[in-house]
Structure 1
């Protein structure tokens, strides 16, 4: 373990030493090399990036365009310390500083996010379904590392991501139009049309409109039961509209209503099957099938649909020169539909465990997940400054109504002869909630209310020293009604549950300016994530041992994190370079870890009493010549569980639950991340400038779930389910590696621009690297072992005209 006091002294010593190496200011001829200051609002007040007294990154609109980043996943590839776990389109999960408890699965609607995501002032994050909003006409994306519970609440335990849009401008009409196209190696073609228009309607009123349509190329091929192959099944589209109106009837009052709408429709998933019970090479009485790279086996069409609507209203009123009143009201409506092919999962139970015939276990089994969410929030705050004092204080209220339901309709099941299925839970016999042929049914409406009071005060102790003190007092209550029924469920109807929590999240920061170009900072901050209610395990599928181990865990506790951090921000070479570093230690209590409940085909949340994350972040931005700019963003994180969770059965045998073993690392995020970007500018004509941009991303080895690292990450699945499905088998076990190997991605862009045009060609994933983004298994691997994979080499162009 790192010696924290010694590490901190060394880190501060290096930072102070570097302050004396700052070069003299640039000459007037070299002034064009000075890096432009970036304004951010990470503390709900405007200040430069270099003045924020904690670790923060900001991707400006220009940087987003040069790197080709169009959404949160592609943006994160260029920022250290933030990781996006790809679980399919529209189903990304965000981790910052390696703080993650593992994959939140689609049927865990009660789990809250660890990283908050905001559009301007409105929270839009939702566990599992982080909105994949398009970044066109976004001014910048801010990544706030470390707990932000004081100003941003429960969902910001590990950090906060903020999309800051360009605001309507009454000064002049302007706009842009972009057209792009691309082709994927071994896949299909895609393209986009995007645009924005800013219209002054009067001296006090302006409208800004953003619209876009993106056609996604497919690159996954799906083998079918009849031996045919469907090409490029994971294609789809994203389209959206953003409207913002700015009304300033007086110098003191500004009213900004905004509407954001986006719809995503995908025809399949970027899932690659390594093993599938219904299509594998180990059968003798069925046609053997070997599944290759970027291939899967399906019996039916899968899909993902996401309709997102955000309405918000921001009102700013200057009470006087030093006092600002801000009101933020928002309403979010979200409908998400996921249809997955669960035929292999269904066959592993009906054919493998229950011994049904092929006429039963080969039936199509679509698993339908439907999420409806409505969120209303209201924040009212005052901010001000006087002499050496700055402050912000406010109240926050939110009401979340989320309705989740899951259904497994297997058409023809009740009419088909059965040989071994138990009648006690048969959908055709019981008088429950499930319909005929519906083998699984769940309905979970719940409501979450929270009230919070927050404040933060900044006081200049001297010309060089600033102290920041803040806290958030919160009160939550969550209520749910659980209903489960069908062959695969332990029937539970209208069971009411409730959890509540209250507490305080403090933050103390200290900033010391060694000089105008060197700033040191330190902080202690606390974040939290509300607990919740576990779903009951699918008892009818559990072995007696698994039923004893995983049964009876009705709820899980709040997760808290205390962060200790020191950092430095240096402006070097007369303003032509910046170097920002931070060192942190995060102490985690009651980590909410996802556990696969063995044979039960259920997932539960277990609290891990103690865990920690320790790491260092570095960001260098430099313009060594007027023609060249490069940046380096790197992080190293060491995460570890400090507790072991065990279970003891009736025979007094104790086992470790779900890999929650002291010394195992936290999943999702790699230990090492590196992103390098370089841009070179050169004259083409008197009015046109050319540019070449290259980015390099290095992601180290990691895991999807905590339990994946047991046995050195190796797993062996007994293929006993296959005895009735294509048997006798040519082998009895399927061995695979549960770790996600590291990968390296290179993106290239060559273009030219003038005052109106910016056009270029690009190559994404130039090395055609196949990266495993997450592991996805069904029934512990007995039904299916798969990985979500990245897009192969993609070549394309885009052209933007601005006026």
Structure 2
């Protein structure tokens, strides 16, 4: 269960009938009034689900899918807007409160979304469809927002929580979590501090090399927030957030590319080399809200430092690449190390009109400056020097800078008390400079002992648009139409040693056309939201490998047709049912020669055609001050593709559909004590979450590493709120 104050904060964000307040439109608004699909999971529900990572809540937000192999990061897709495992740049906006997190370019591990800790969150918001006017670059598929709890100015509260458990086919898990909220000055200043130490067992083994419990996670994180309200019209919030996740390897099992049967045991893999990973984020922000009565000014200033390091066993592909030139002597264990560090400063200013139900507007400006360093090395692990036949293989130093400046505005005209229309526009200017220092056989085959240098830049201006039409059929039912566009920046490219390839790549863009309905029923005890949409995606950014080097190119167009549904219904005061589902049909509408696809209609990877999640929560009173909640959750993840049918550069592996059932019990006793036993993946299903077919490009019969769902995990949380 979440801290007591977290539950109160969520409750304060509800009005009669459990209407949830969200910030999708950059102003506080009832979820049922937002003209667009917005998925939410409250901090209270995250606690009941025993959610720790994206995998635990993604199915409860329609249209969200993901790919992962390490516990620290995921590739997240919304509404099928992804090119899968080869994607180098994110197609969603990732936010911690009002701050965009991570790199907006492909050079700072931009496609990887850090798994933000879920303890003491107010809620999670998923804004489906392009959010280009208010959230800017990269929000092609939508935006994922982690909303933290703000300090309570009136009351000292806190929580301490311990957790222990065991994962089948793995080992023990444990966690310590704590929160303290302290008012400091007469309801004007308060401090909230959160700390987390968590260790989660891996469950994959490599018996050939004596390694076990691979894919574990060690998480250290903390957050400190200072809230000051010197006057009724002025609020200042200072935030500091830090998190570090380390892992000993990949949670993958080797599968036959044709039969999909395990090549060894069901949780076994075989890699010659160890593959640890590490990701960290430090973020500092200041938010000022100043109500001028005729308008409200919001300033969000932030600085963040992202870093990540991965070590990957690429023995199969590079043995094939180099062996084709140098013969059997080049068949070696090859390690690729990638380290990236991004420093990013962002500043956003917004001015929003009051909620006058006549003419409402938001205008603003956004500035971002990034500086990224990335180092990539190809190493022959069989030689202490890392060389092959005395020749250095490949070392890249890839510094880059990126600047963005944008102006944006949304305006809503209330034509009648029931009908209103919104028009929004954003214009963004992007400037990037990318440099490449490369040495070794791969980047400089003509002189592997020398260094090649390339530097290029790009400038582009991109406009995005929004049009919403909203009609309240009755106080309980609203229908809407939505047209919105989004984009992902282009930029300079990595050049191979032979000088082949494109020096730059262009922005890709999409348009989303959507209709939907939101309604409440049973006297406000139930809510049903539905939407239908069509997306046109053009000049898709694809990653292709040229002479062992990944490049970004524009190749092909796609369309996505889909439907989404979310339901919340309190059947009786003690029992609440929530459900969500989505249908996603994402296909290429052109040939894609760069992927080796010569036909129209290839299905895009990663997103399931069908997904469904349901959870029932029953509250009860045992007397003597003991109350409880019993939560049963079901998740169905449909069949997905890794790679593309018929592709030579991204071979197909069909990921089977799977179902997961979770069960949890939360007991609240006197003096704030809480006990929560739980079982995740009750029936110990081996779900295929994602897969990588990189090696199969060069060796088609190579085993495919498939990321598996968390096996059955039994645990217990013991906490006290005060």
Normalised TM-score (structure 2)? 0.90
Q: Distance in 2 between matches of 1:147 and 1:316?
A: 26
Does 1:57 find its partner at 2:33?
A: no
Does 1:233 find its partner at 2:214?
A: yes
Q: Which runs of 5+ in 2 are unaligned?
A: 1-13, 104-109, 446-450
Does 1:156 find its partner at 2:139?
A: yes
Does 1:308 find its partner at 2:281?
A: yes
Spell out the pairing of 1:619-638 with structure 2 (5 A cutoff).
Answer: 619-638=566-585
Spell out the pairing of 1:97-136 with structure 2 (5 A cutoff).
Answer: 97-104=79-86, 111-126=88-103, 127-136=110-119
Q: For residue 274 of structure 1, what is the aligned residue in structure 2?
A: 255
Q: Distance in 1 between matches of 2:337 and 2:467?
A: 46
Helix, strand or coil at the partner of 1:65 = helix
Q: For residue 183 of structure 2, what is the aligned residue in structure 1?
A: 200
Q: For residue 758 of structure 1, what is the aligned residue in structure 2?
A: 674
Q: Distance in 1 between matches of 2:235 and 2:433?
A: 38
Query: Pick from 707, 711, 716: which aligns with 1:797?
Result: 716
Question: Is 613-622 or 746-755 further displaced after alignment?
Answer: 746-755
Helix, strand or coil at the partner of 2:55 = helix
Q: Distance in 2 between matches of 1:415 and 1:671?
A: 48
Q: Per-residue CA shift, 1:688-740, capped at 9, x if unaligned?
A: 123221111111111123xx32189997xxxxxxxxxxxxxxxxxxxxx7111
Q: Distance in 1 between matches of 2:461 and 2:324?
A: 47
Does 1:379 find its partner at 2:294?
A: no
Q: Per-residue CA shift, 1:198-237, capped at 9, x if unaligned?
A: 011112211000100110102111134xxx5222132230
Normalised TM-score (structure 1)? 0.82
Q: Per-residue CA shift, 1:653-699, capped at 9, x if unaligned?
A: xxx74336311111111111111111122222241123221111111
Q: Per-residue CA shift, 1:326-379, capped at 9, x if unaligned?
A: 11100010111112233444444556752345xx745x5432110010010001
Instruction: Check 1:163–1:361 CA distance in 2 against 1; reply closer, same or farther (3 A cut).
Output: same
Q: Distance in 2 between matches of 1:664 and 1:63?
A: 38
Query: Pick from 149, 162, 175: which aligns with 2:158?
Result: 175
> Does the 8 Å CA contact 1:350/1:356 hold for their aligned counterparts?
no
Q: Distance in 1 between matches of 2:27 and 2:193?
A: 26
Task: Give the drift of 1:49.
Answer: 0.7
Query: Pick from 465, 470, 476: which aligns with 1:506?
Result: 465
Task: Give the drift of 1:788.
Answer: 1.8
Q: For residue 437 of structure 2, what is the aligned residue in structure 1?
A: 483
RMSD: 2.6
Helix, strand or coil at the partner of 1:710 = coil
Q: For residue 334 of structure 1, what is the aligned residue in structure 2?
A: 306
Q: Distance in 2 between matches of 1:416 and 1:239?
A: 33
Q: For residue 617 of structure 1, what is the aligned residue in structure 2?
A: 564
Does 1:44 find its partner at 2:26?
A: yes
Task: Give the drift of 1:178.
Answer: 1.2
Query: Pick from 420, 427, 445: which aligns with 1:473?
Result: 427
Does 1:244 find its partner at 2:225?
A: yes
Q: For residue 661 of structure 1, what is the aligned residue in structure 2?
A: 599
Q: For residue 61 of structure 2, what is the aligned residue in structure 1?
A: 79
Question: Is 747-756 or 686-695 further displaced after alignment?
Answer: 747-756
Query: Pick from 488, 491, 515: which aligns with 1:566?
Result: 515
Q: Distance in 1 between matches of 2:469 and 2:650?
A: 46
Q: For residue 555 of structure 1, what is the aligned residue in structure 2?
A: 504
Spell out the pairing of 1:700-711 with structure 2 (5 A cutoff).
Answer: 700-705=638-643, 708-710=644-646
Does 1:211 find its partner at 2:127?
A: no
> Does the 8 Å CA contact 2:85/2:692 hold for their aligned counterparts?
no
Helix, strand or coil at the partner of 2:84 = coil
Does 1:398 find its partner at 2:368?
A: yes
> Does the 8 Å CA contact 2:452/2:497 hold for their aligned counterparts?
no
> Does the 8 Å CA contact 2:48/2:666 hold for their aligned counterparts?
no
Q: For residue 644 of structure 1, what is the aligned residue in structure 2?
A: 591
Spell out the pairing of 1:322-361 with structure 2 (5 A cutoff).
Answer: 322-349=294-321, 354-357=326-329, 361=331
Q: Which runs of 5+ in 1 are unaligned?
A: 1-31, 106-110, 282-288, 428-437, 540-546, 647-655, 716-736
Q: Per-residue CA shift, 1:518-548, capped at 9, x if unaligned?
A: 1111111111111233323576xxxxxxx9x
Helix, strand or coil at the partner of 2:60 = coil
> Does the 8 Å CA contact 1:223/1:298 hold for their aligned counterparts?
no
Q: Per-residue CA shift, 1:52-87, capped at 9, x if unaligned?
A: 111111111111111122233322122211111113
Q: For residue 748 of structure 1, what is the aligned residue in structure 2?
A: 663
Q: Distance in 2 between matches of 1:148 and 1:608?
A: 23
Instruction: Check 1:582–1:275 CA distance in 2 against 1; reply closer, same or farther (3 A cut).
Output: closer
Query: Pick from 687, 690, 703: which aligns with 1:771?
Result: 687
Spell out the pairing of 1:457-606 with structure 2 (5 A cutoff).
Answer: 457-490=411-444, 493-537=452-496, 551-596=500-545, 600-606=547-553
Instruction: Check 1:686–1:48 CA distance in 2 against 1; reply closer, same or farther (3 A cut).
Output: farther
Q: For residue 731 of structure 1, what is the aligned residue in structure 2?
A: none
Q: Which has the larger radius of gyration?
A: 1
Question: Is 33-42 or 309-318 further displaced after alignment?
Answer: 33-42
Instruction: Check 1:481–1:758 CA distance in 2 against 1; reply closer, same or farther (3 A cut).
Output: same
Instruction: Check 1:713–1:394 CA distance in 2 against 1; reply closer, same or farther (3 A cut).
Output: closer
Q: For residue 138 of structure 1, what is the aligned residue in structure 2?
A: 121
> Does the 8 Å CA contact 1:116/1:125 hold for their aligned counterparts?
no
Q: Distance in 1 between matches of 2:680 and 2:127?
A: 27
Q: Per-residue CA shift, 1:398-436, capped at 9, x if unaligned?
A: 001111111123366488998xx6xxxx63xxxxxxxxx
Task: Give the drift of 1:292.
Answer: 2.1
Helix, strand or coil at the partner of 2:230 = coil
Task: Give the drift of 1:290.
Answer: 5.4
Does 1:67 find its partner at 2:49?
A: yes
Q: For residue 785 of structure 1, what is the aligned residue in structure 2?
A: 704
Instruction: Check 1:556–1:798 CA distance in 2 against 1; reply closer, same or farther (3 A cut).
Output: same
Q: Distance in 1 between matches of 2:574 and 2:460?
A: 55
Q: For residue 691 of structure 1, what is the aligned residue in structure 2?
A: 629
Helix, strand or coil at the partner of 1:777 = coil
Q: Distance in 2 between matches of 1:462 and 1:150?
A: 25
Instruction: Check 1:76–1:245 CA distance in 2 against 1; reply closer, same or farther (3 A cut).
Output: same
Task: Give the drift of 1:766.
Answer: 1.3
Q: Distance in 1 between matches of 2:714 and 2:246?
A: 23
Q: Distance in 2 between matches of 1:213 and 1:230?
A: 24
Instruction: Check 1:786–1:412 CA distance in 2 against 1; reply closer, same or farther (3 A cut).
Output: closer
> Does the 8 Å CA contact 1:104/1:128 hold for their aligned counterparts?
no
Query: Pick from 262, 266, 281: which aligns with 2:243?
Result: 262
